[in-house]
Amino acid sequence: MTPSLMHFRPARNWMNDPNGLVFHGGRYHLYFQYNPEGATHGFMSWGHSSSTDLVRWEEHPVAIRYTDEHEIFSGSVVFDEHDTSGLGAAGTPPLVAVFTLADQVARHQAQGIASSLDGGRSWRLYEGNPVLDRGSADFRDPKVFRYSGPAGEYWVMVAVEAVERRVVLYRSDDLKTWAYLSDYGPRGATGGVWECPDLFPLAVDGDPSEVRWVLLISLNPGGIAGGSGTQYVIGFFDGVRFVADEPIPPAAPGEGWENSRVQLEACDWLDHGRDFYAGVTFSGLPDEERILVAWMSNWDYAGLLPVDVGSPQRGAMALARRLSLVRADGRVRLRQEAIGPEVATIVARADVRAEGPVELIGELPDRCRIDVCVRLDGADGFDLNLGDTSIVGYSAAEGILWLDRRLAADTMPDGFASIEQVRIGAHGRIELVIWLDRDAIEVFASGGTRTITDLLPERDDAGASIAGRGGSVLIERFEVGAVRDLVSTGSSADMKGQTA
């Protein structure tokens, strides 16, 4: 695949989950599951990149490397400002990474830590590892945050017993000794192992007197679109226990529960596409600023995606997203807004009426943002064709928005051809924000409370057209903003150089 500048990917080799997201020293650090030895999953280590704007990423040397005994699986980073861990040096509090030490031979997973005194560039494994061991084969993906509330002030770890479909919570005063708090699940979607949890507070509609906690649970397979997906649950965390706001039907594995579309739709999903997984949020930002990064792939076929033989590479991140909570359709929902690159408008059209297919732009840029607002003017819906690799469609009668990427899927691995859908209700007017890369698409609908993210077969130069379904539509707005050239920063040995 052609390297893309809109979505972060390392210059070479394999990447999956985002790890250790932390804003520190004026930079956003993005560590990630990385194989320094090749373009398939293995020898898992933490790769590293950083950015000042979440858009232009600079890749750094591998941060935490696999050892003879362990691979370094997913986890998080916190700034231990008061040196509670004692891993700092005179005057320099440490960054502490908390991750899963995965022994693939002995089938054992426990949590370990490492510290950095140079702002996240180099890391030292703690001699006392592991710091938390349940004797489990599937205990992983610790996300640590600082809790401060009526129950006190301490570190909280949210991790999973993946196969049991349980989120487990622990507390610590020093990041080295951990005491059990509570657990959550199995509940909601349980058709696959639970992975990469996150738990954080957000104010509903920005009102600080109405704070809710959001629990993210990635699961694989069993996602709403098939394969990997991420459900979210809104509730309350009192420093010990997370309690969901709404009664979610208890899971009944083995009774076909996990396979029922109706039941899956009863859960809330971070994204309704095939390629948005293991998303977690940054630490080091104020509570009201919640920014998430997710891996843009799906375990169903991630290891089979075509690679460029010259510099084999697999895996990309979706655009960073700003999260907020809003009251919509009588309930509290997550709203997501992409933090995308700057764009320059190249086409802006208004009041175009379409029944049969009407061309909206002759050639789409390689990477662009598309803002579209369609009014149903006799039609039941529309088909918006984007560059011959994807169709975004809507039907008011069904109240469904969909993304069809089957068009050119014959160049892709088995199981890739798919059509994704999300229920958005019946509306006379649909507004979408779409970020389109050469080989990926992120669709934001209903003010960002519904999103669909998919990888796409690589696009040839082609334009966009729209057709009404069973009548005419009025395109009130169609605006294409081309992403300005981002200078590729490649790899660098240190973090001093700023991206251009």
- Check: CB of residue 442 under 8 Å from CB of residue 372: no
101 vs 464 by CB, closer to ligand FRU:
101
Query: Which of 135, 137, 143, 148 shows the shortest CA–CA distance to 99?
Result: 143
Q: Token pair 């104010």 is at which residue?
A: 203
Residues in contact with 286: Cβ distance below 8 Å, sequence separation at least 6, in sequence order: none
Q: Is 479 in the site for ligand FRU (CB under 6 A)?
A: no
What is the CA 281 to chain-centroid distance, rounded? 9
CA gap 474, 362 in Å, rounded: 19
CA gap 389, 456 in Å, rounded: 7
* Residue 240 CB, nearest approach to ligand FRU (Å): 25
Q: Is 59 in the site for ligand FRU (CB under 6 A)?
A: no
Q: Is 395 in the site for ligand FRU (CB under 6 A)?
A: no
Q: Is 16 in the site for ligand FRU (CB under 6 A)?
A: yes
Q: Is 294 in the site for ligand FRU (CB under 6 A)?
A: no
16 vs 190 by CB, closer to ligand FRU:
16
Q: Is 376 helix (H, G, I), strand (E, B) or coil?
A: strand
Q: Which of residues 403-462 bind ligand FRU (CB under 6 A)?
A: none
* Residue 163 CB, nearest approach to ligand FRU (Å): 11
Figure out which of the listed residues 121, 140, 165, 335 binds ligand FRU, where binding follows CB under 6 A: 140
- Check: CB of residue 95 under 8 Å from CB of residue 80: yes
Joined tokens for residue 323: 């999260």
Whether 183 is catalytic: no
**Cα–Cα distances in angstroms (integers) from residue 425 to residues 97, 444, 466, in the given order:** 43, 15, 21
**Beta partners for residue 375, in sequence order:** 429, 474
Q: Is 195 in the site for ligand FRU (CB under 6 A)?
A: yes
**Cα–Cα distances in angstroms (integers) from residue 356 to residues 360, 363, 389, 468, in the given order:** 12, 19, 19, 6
Window 219-258: contact mask with ligand FRU (x via CB under 6 A): ----------------------------------------
Q: Is 278 in the site for ligand FRU (CB under 6 A)?
A: yes
* Residue 439 CB, nearest approach to ligand FRU (Å): 20
* Residue 105 CB, nearest approach to ligand FRU (Å): 16
Q: Which of residues 323-362 bind ligand FRU (CB under 6 A)?
A: none
Figure out which of the listed residues 141, 161, 275, 442 binds ligand FRU, where binding follows CB under 6 A: 141
Q: Is 33 in the site for ligand FRU (CB under 6 A)?
A: yes
Q: Is 298 in the site for ligand FRU (CB under 6 A)?
A: no
Q: Which of residues 74-93 bind ligand FRU (CB under 6 A)?
A: 74
Figure out which of the listed residues 5, 22, 30, 44 binds ligand FRU, where binding follows CB under 6 A: 44
**Residue-by-residue DSSP string for 101-148:** EEETTTTEEEEEEEEESSTTSS-EE-TT--SEEEEESSEEEEEEEEEE
Using CB under 6 A, count the residues that bind ligand FRU: 12
Query: Which of 17, 71, 20 shows the shortest CA–CA distance to 50?
Result: 20
* Residue 104 CB, nearest approach to ligand FRU (Å): 10
33 vs 395 by CB, closer to ligand FRU:
33
**Cα–Cα distances in angstroms (integers) from residue 1 to residues 159, 227, 301, 304, in the given order:** 34, 22, 15, 12
Residues that bind ligand FRU (CB under 6 A): 16-17, 33, 44, 73-74, 100, 140-141, 195-196, 278
Active site residues: 17
